[in-house]
């Protein structure tokens, strides 16, 4: 650091220069000319003007500090701004004469060597703020580090204020969006708040945004997916007397004698699941009562109608990474394989080599991961399409619910039954005309009163004539007038028990749910009652509904039968009339 006296508009300043202005001291962040302090783009506050003190108060002093045996000592009695030119790696940083039990701040300005990029390692008791871990690799560059303590020097937090030769902030992940942390210093969350300047994409919950703006959910906890296992898949040589079963492979026993499934070289063994499992760990046991042990092997998953190899990222009880790894576990041992989280409905181990014999055994097979997880909370594409549950929205708004749960809930408060809950428009006739609407009372209004269904024979199979007893059953339907409970509108329709007796397929059971504010919710920071989520609970009962749209089809068929009977009767009457005349 070099003190350039009072700021002068005619002077060109470089990184590390210090000036005074209106009683305060500033250090240069970016080389420039004629940028008056306190312009924070170019200047950082080194020491602010304080209240008038008694004669003899100490002024700000810049203290050069050498590196001795890889360590520096910053003496707070000598000053609070220190400078060092790196000529060795720094592994020890010590403060002396720190005022006890009070907060203190010191600034250390480091100049990197011109030929060798030396390193700085914080000792115990010091930590970078908010996960910073700056590198000091730019030759001849200046780096400005700020040390803070609130307990008289017992512990220190360190932040990188600038440097690297370009005047930017060092020590942060490229692309990470900075924010002010709880301690008031710059902070980052590279995996949760990210900007890709090349593709101009924002990521929330991800540092790999797939769209203009991507909101990704945090993956659930990884657990053993044994509850979803429904069967065993095998190929190759297996000993018939030791047929692998789901019970054997998932009973939790890794080494008990007898609980083995035997397998030969290049054979496979694995589990099938009743749903897609996002797997990240596979554990298998090598039993203690077999003469051979699996050595080289690969892990495969079944997804999108085909098997593919999973790259292993690490292994416990073995060595290697990638497509083929080696198990080193022997009698009564286990092997744990880790991989990048991938989906699949089946998983298997392919045995490539065996040591000690031509067959070996598996006493346990576990797949760890999670199910029913869709990371795409919200995606906004470059064209402005919005996807919920999908990264590839197929419309202006695209909602994909990948689990068996409610996909969309629309609610409106109102007492006028003719007001609409939802309206649908099209420019087919006029953009200002409603084509279809759903009203508060449940009525669906259509401009042309037409409901279409797919009737082309090319999309149908098993086509046969309808049974002729439909007429008799239709005539047993009882049409009633009634009021819905709590309503004053007289309605005309059917009762489900009568319909179910004659046409069981026209009646369906709809589960009864109750939706209410979650009573077990605990508000987080800056949350209020308005943030309380809703909870949807199945009541254990069902309400029967009639597929009323099929009634007109039944009536039409019955009309055909009656017309056919009438036509046949008219023909017989005509024949009788002719016979009588003759």
Q: What is the DSSP string of 198-251?
A: TTTEEEES-SS--SSEEEEPPPPPPEE-GGGEEEEEEES---GGG---HHHHTS
pLDDT at 360 over 50: yes
Q: What's the whole-number mean pLDDT along residues 193-198? A: 85
pLDDT band of 283, cuts 50, 70, 90? very high
Q: What's the whole-number mean pLDDT along residues 159-179? A: 65
Rounded Cα gap, residues 424 and 73, in angstroms = 73
Q: Is the pTM of this model over 0.75?
A: no
**pLDDT at res. 50:** 61
Of 41, 46, 11, which is closest to residue 29 (Cα–Cα)? Answer: 41
Q: What's the whole-number mean pLDDT along residues 332-351? A: 90
Q: What's the whole-number mean pLDDT along residues 475-485? A: 91
Q: How many helices (H) and strands (E) does the chain have?
A: 4, 43
Report phi then psi at 151, rounded to 5: -135, 35
pLDDT band of 259, cuts 50, 70, 90? low
For residue range 304-315, list pLDDT tens digits in order: 889 999 999 999
**pLDDT at res. 2:** 62
Rounded Cα gap, residues 407 and 399, in angstroms = 7
For 241-307, the DSSP string reads GG---HHHHTSS-SS-TT--EEE-TT-EEEEEEEEEEEEEEEEEEE-SS-S-EE-EEEEEEEETTEE
- The percentage of the chain sitting over the pLDDT mark of 90, rounded to a whole number, equals 33
For residue range 208-225, list pLDDT tens digits in order: 888 999 998 888 889 999
| Residues found in the chain | 582
Cα dihedral 160→162→168→169 (10° resolution): 10
Mean pLDDT of the chain, nearest integer? 85
Instruction: Read off the DSSP letter of residue 90.
Output: B
**pLDDT at res. 502:** 93
Of 343, 364, 362, 345, which is closest to residue 354 (Cα–Cα)? Answer: 362
**pLDDT at res. 52:** 53
The answer to whether 400 and 374 have CB atoms below 8 angstroms apart is yes
pLDDT at 373 over 50: yes
Q: What's the whole-number mean pLDDT along residues 439-467? A: 84
Q: Which two tokens stand for residue 517?
A: 């504010």
**pLDDT at res. 466:** 87
pLDDT band of 297, cuts 50, 70, 90? very high
Of 296, 361, 367, 366, which is closest to residue 331 (Cα–Cα)? Answer: 361
| Residue with the larger pLDDT of the pair 356 and 133 | 356
Instruction: Read off the DSSP letter of residue 427.
Output: T
Q: Residue 305 contacts by C-beta under 8 Å, 6 or more apart in sequence?
A: none
**pLDDT at res. 107:** 92
**pLDDT at res. 58:** 43
Q: Is the previous residue joined to 38 through a cis bond, with omega within 30 degrees of 0?
A: yes
pLDDT band of 1, cuts 50, 70, 90? low
The answer to whether 151 and 162 have CB atoms below 8 angstroms apart is no
Of 54, 61, 86, which is closest to residue 72 (Cα–Cα)? Answer: 86
pLDDT at 542 over 90: yes
Rounded Cα gap, residues 67 and 295, in angstroms = 52
pLDDT at 20 over 70: yes
pLDDT at 545 over 50: yes
**pLDDT at res. 550:** 82
529 three-class SS: helix
Q: What's the whole-number mean pLDDT along residues 110-122? A: 90
pLDDT at 53 over 60: no
- The percentage of the chain sitting over the pLDDT mark of 70, rounded to a whole number, equals 92
For 362-419, the DSSP string reads ESEEEEEEEES---EEEEE-TTS-EEES-SS-SSSEEE---SSS---------S-TTS
User: In DSSP terms, which residues pair with 277 in a beta bridge?
Assistant: 344, 371
**pLDDT at res. 165:** 43
């Amino acid at each position: 650091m070099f003190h350039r006296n009072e700021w002068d508009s005619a002077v060109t300043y470089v990184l590390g220069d210090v000036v005074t202005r209106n009683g305060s001291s500033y250090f240069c962040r970016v080389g420039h000319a004629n940028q008056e302090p306190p312009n924070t783009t170019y200047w950082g506050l080194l020491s602010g003007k304080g209240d008038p003190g008694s004669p003899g108060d100490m002024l700000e002093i810049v203290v050069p500090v050498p590196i001795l045996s890889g360590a520096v000592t910053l003496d707070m009695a000598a000053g609070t701004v220190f400078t060092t030119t790196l000529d060795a790696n720094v592994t020890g940083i010590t403060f002396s004469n720190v005022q006890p039990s009070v907060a203190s701040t010191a600034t250390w300005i480091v100049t990197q060597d011109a030929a060798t990029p030396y390193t700085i390692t914080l000792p115990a008791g010091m930590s970078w703020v908010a996960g910073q871990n700056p590198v000091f690799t730019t030759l001849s560059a200046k780096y400005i580090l700020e040390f803070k303590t609130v307990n008289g020097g017992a512990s220190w937090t360190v932040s990188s204020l600038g440097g690297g030769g370009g005047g930017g902030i060092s020590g942060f992940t490229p692309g990470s969006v900075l924010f002010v942390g709880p301690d008031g210093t710059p902070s980052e969350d590279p995996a949760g708040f990210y900007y890709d300047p090349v593709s101009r994409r924002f990521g929330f919950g991800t540092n790999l945004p797939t769209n203009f703006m991507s909101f990704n959910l945090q993956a659930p906890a990884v657990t053993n997916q044994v509850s979803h296992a429904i069967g065993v898949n095998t190929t190759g040589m297996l000993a018939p007397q030791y047929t692998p079963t789901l019970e054997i492979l998932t009973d939790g026993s890794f080494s008990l004698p007898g609980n083995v499934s035997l397998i030969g070289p290049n054979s496979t063994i694995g589990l099938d699941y009743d749903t897609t499992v996002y797997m990240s760990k596979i554990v298998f046991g090598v039993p203690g009562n077999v003469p051979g042990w699996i050595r080289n092997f690969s892990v495969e998953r079944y997804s999108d109608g085909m098997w593919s190899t999973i790259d292993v990222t690490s292994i416990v009880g073995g060595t290697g990474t990638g497509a083929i790894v080696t198990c080193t576990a022997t009698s009564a041992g286990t092997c744990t394989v880790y991989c990048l989280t991938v989906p699949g409905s089946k998983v298997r181990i392919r045995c490539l080599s065996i040591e000690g014999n031509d067959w070996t055994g598996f006493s346990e097979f576990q797949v760890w991961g999670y199910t029913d997880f869709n990371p795409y909370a919200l995606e906004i594409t470059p064209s402005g399409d919005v996807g919920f549950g999908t990264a590839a929205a197929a419309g202006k708004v695209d909602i994909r619910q990948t689990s068996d749960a409610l996909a969309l809930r629309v609610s409106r408060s109102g007492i006028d039954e003719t007001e609409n809950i939802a309206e649908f428009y099209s420019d087919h006739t006029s953009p200002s005309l409603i084509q279809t609407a759903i009203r508060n009372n449940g009525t669906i209004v259509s401009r042309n009163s037409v409901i279409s269904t797919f009737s082309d024979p090319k999309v149908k199979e098993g086509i046969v004539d309808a049974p002729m007893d439909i007429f008799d059953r239709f005539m047993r339907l009882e049409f009633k007038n009634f009021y819905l409970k709590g309503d004053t509108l007289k309605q005309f329709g059917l009762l489900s028990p009568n319909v179910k007796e004659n046409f069981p397929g026209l009646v369906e059971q709809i589960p009864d749910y109750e939706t209410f504010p979650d009573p077990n919710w605990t508000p987080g920071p800056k949350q209020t009652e308005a943030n309380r989520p809703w909870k949807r609970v199945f009541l254990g009962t069902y309400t029967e509904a009639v597929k009323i749209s099929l009634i007109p089809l039944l009536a039409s068929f019955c009309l055909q039968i009656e017309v056919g009977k009438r036509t046949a009767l008219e023909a017989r009457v005509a024949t009788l009339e002719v016979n009588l005349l003759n």
